[in-house]
A = this chain, B = another copy of it.
């Protein structure tokens, strides 16, 4: 065996921290692919792509498992401090968000198949419009992490409001469509849940951007609590 020196240990530790980062980048890339496929399944009414998108969920889940295993090992054996601790805790959080985003994308794919066996509906085009807003947010959040870029992370927040607005517009559009086409009510209920999935994916990407800020020491703990102003329920419609 090679004699272990302090230098070796530090090198091994650095390699392990990089491995954590690698897991996130890999998971992020899988989620992006899966999302693109799920949307393509709707756009092209292609059930083969839907089945593929649905299945890739498993790989994302096992990466989360490997990441957690390594993170807990590092927490127990390396007694990390400060920025390393934030990276380890942060990657565990991001992995959880990505895993859920994968679940939402898989659910999109599953529901895409139900859309595709039914008659085409014009209102589906509006779902794709919403998806077009969500795709860049997924990419942006993963990219902010990969490039350790606070500005990119902060920019994600600004993209969430347009998603919420488009989402609310879309729900109204689907409800109006259901009222005008009662025979499509069942298929339209799929669209409602698909829109919800898209909106949730956007929220999770925002979570990731906040965790990137946490990892980089910006706002430190504060970002763990979403800045939440109690919405004025009375004024909401």
Chain A residues engaging chain B, CB cutoff 8 angstroms: 51, 54-55, 57-58, 61-62, 64-65, 68-69, 72, 75-76, 79, 81-82, 85, 89, 92-93, 96, 110, 113, 171, 174-175, 178-179, 182, 185-186, 189, 192-193, 196, 221, 224-226, 228, 230, 233-234, 236
Contact = CB atoms under 8 A, between A and B. Distances in A.
A61 B233 contact: no
Contact of A228 (B61, B72, B193, B226): B61
A125 B45 CA distance: 37
What's the number of copies of this chain in the assembled complex?
2
Given A179-B182, A185-B175, A72 B89 contact: yes
A196 B233 CA distance: 21
Contact of A110 (B79, B175, B182, B233): B233
Nearest to A203: B103
A235 to B, nearest CB: 12
Given A189-B171, A189-B175, A221 B68 contact: yes
Contacts of A228: 57-58, 61
27 contacts: A51-B233, A54-B233, A57-B228, A57-B230, A58-B228, A58-B230, A61-B225, A61-B226, A62-B225, A64-B224, A65-B221, A72-B85, A72-B221, A75-B89, A79-B79, A93-B96, A110-B233, A110-B236, A113-B233, A171-B189, A175-B185, A178-B185, A189-B192, A192-B192, A192-B193, A193-B196, A196-B196
